[in-house]
């Protein structure tokens, strides 16, 4: 399967249904993956959540409609799936920087958010070796920070180093790094955590239920190597993955100078 061709088909479907309710489970069929994986793939590639992309495309089109047509504000609000004119006007002004009533006089202020088009002839990445193990439940102790899809690449290494400076001398190197997804199908708000297996004063207790895990072994504990493997997983492995991913945190398990990148999945035997 050409992932980028499938994404272009999904973008065209979205474009044809901007004036209707769009169901995420229908979109996931274009990629042949579950909603979790589809949302992650999209945000990883685009630096924006799929829900936010659809919202901005609608508001972009709404601006053109207000300027070019004689449709009423209330009709355009309902047309682009807003419950009432008030919520539409609020979102419109936040996106365009002007009120809907100002569009005719100041069309130059309207913002265009273009339809995404993916380049399809992207070279394939090499195969990734993995194993499946059942682990947990895990009881860990750590701290986390809020981050996003577009900033986690800088936020996570910086926070990790800050925590090392504070805790490494007294308690040693961390056992786990963890990415927690907040409002997964709504926005791209994440949390990144670093954690110990042992209880450490002042750190927060975090429980992860028992799960089966896809494990990708990385012969490094460097942030750039871990991030590269994460990208390879979602761009080359996940689209053809026959496993169902679980809505649990992703883990980085540090041991013996290597990192196990751990993706939670449903029981393959069921």
| Residue-by-residue pLDDT tens, the chain, 270 positions | 577 888 999 999 999 999 999 999 899 899 888 787 788 778 777 778 889 999 999 999 999 999 998 899 999 999 999 999 999 999 999 999 999 999 999 998 899 999 998 887 755 555 567 888 998 799 999 999 998 877 888 899 999 999 999 999 999 999 999 988 766 545 567 899 999 999 998 999 999 999 999 898 888 888 888 888 877 777 667 666 667 778 889 999 999 999 999 989 887 666
Looking at the fold, whether 104 and 180 belong to one and the same domain comes out as no
Estimate to the nearest angstrom the gap between the alpha carbon of 182 and the chain centroid.
9
Distance CA 221, CA 229 (A): 12
Domain annotation covers residue 56: yes
What pLDDT score does 184 carry? Answer: 54
Estimate to the nearest angstrom the gap between the alpha carbon of 219 and the chain centroid.
25
Distance CA 7, CA 123 (A): 16
Domain annotation covers residue 42: yes
Domain annotation covers residue 121: no
Residue range(s) defining the domain that contains residue 170: 131-265
CB neighbour list of residue 4: distance below 8 Å, 6 or more residues apart: 118, 119, 120, 122
Looking at the fold, whether 94 and 138 belong to one and the same domain comes out as no
| CATH code for the domain of 103 | 1.10.10.60
Classify residue 247 by burial, with Cβ atoms within 10 Å: 0-12, 13-18, 19+.
exposed
Domain annotation covers residue 69: yes
Domain annotation covers residue 9: yes
Domain annotation covers residue 205: yes
Domain annotation covers residue 123: no
Report the alpha-carbon angle 228-231-182, nearest 5: 120
Residues 159/125, Cβ–Cβ less than 8 Å: no
Residues 248/208, Cβ–Cβ less than 8 Å: yes
Residues 148/192, Cβ–Cβ less than 8 Å: no
Looking at the fold, whether 249 and 152 belong to one and the same domain comes out as yes
Domain annotation covers residue 196: yes
Q: What's the structural domain count of the chain? A: 2
Q: Taking the model in full, what pTM does it have? A: 0.65
């Amino acid at each position: 399967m050409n992932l980028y061709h499938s994404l272009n088909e999904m973008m065209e479907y979205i474009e044809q249904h901007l004036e209707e309710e769009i169901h995420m489970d229908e979109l996931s069929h274009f990629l042949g993956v579950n909603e979790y994986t589809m949302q992650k793939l999209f945000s990883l590639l685009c630096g924006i959540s799929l829900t936010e992309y659809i919202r901005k495309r609608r508001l972009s089109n709404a601006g053109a409609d207000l300027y070019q047509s004689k449709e009423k504000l209330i009709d355009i609000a309902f047309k682009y799936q807003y419950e009432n004119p008030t919520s539409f006007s609020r979102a419109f002004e936040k996106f365009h920087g002007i009120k809907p009533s100002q569009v005719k006089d100041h069309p130059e202020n309207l913002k265009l958010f273009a339809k995404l088009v993916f380049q399809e002839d992207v070279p394939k990445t090499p195969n990734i070796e993995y194993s499946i193990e059942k682990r947990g439940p895990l009881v860990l102790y750590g701290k986390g920070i809020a981050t996003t899809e577009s900033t986690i690449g800088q936020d996570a290494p910086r926070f990790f180093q800050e925590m090392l400076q504070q805790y490494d001398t007294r308690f040693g190197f961390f056992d786990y790094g963890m990415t927690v997804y907040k409002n997964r199908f709504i926005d791209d708000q994440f949390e990144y955590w670093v954690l110990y297996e042992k209880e450490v004063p002042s750190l927060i207790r975090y429980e992860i239920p028992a799960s089966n895990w896809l494990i990708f072994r990385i012969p490094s504990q460097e942030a750039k190597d871990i991030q590269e493997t994460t990208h390879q997983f979602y761009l080359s492995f996940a689209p053809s993955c026959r496993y169902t991913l679980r809505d649990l945190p992703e883990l980085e398990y540090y041991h013996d100078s290597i990192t196990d990148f751990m993706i939670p999945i449903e029981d393959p035997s069921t």
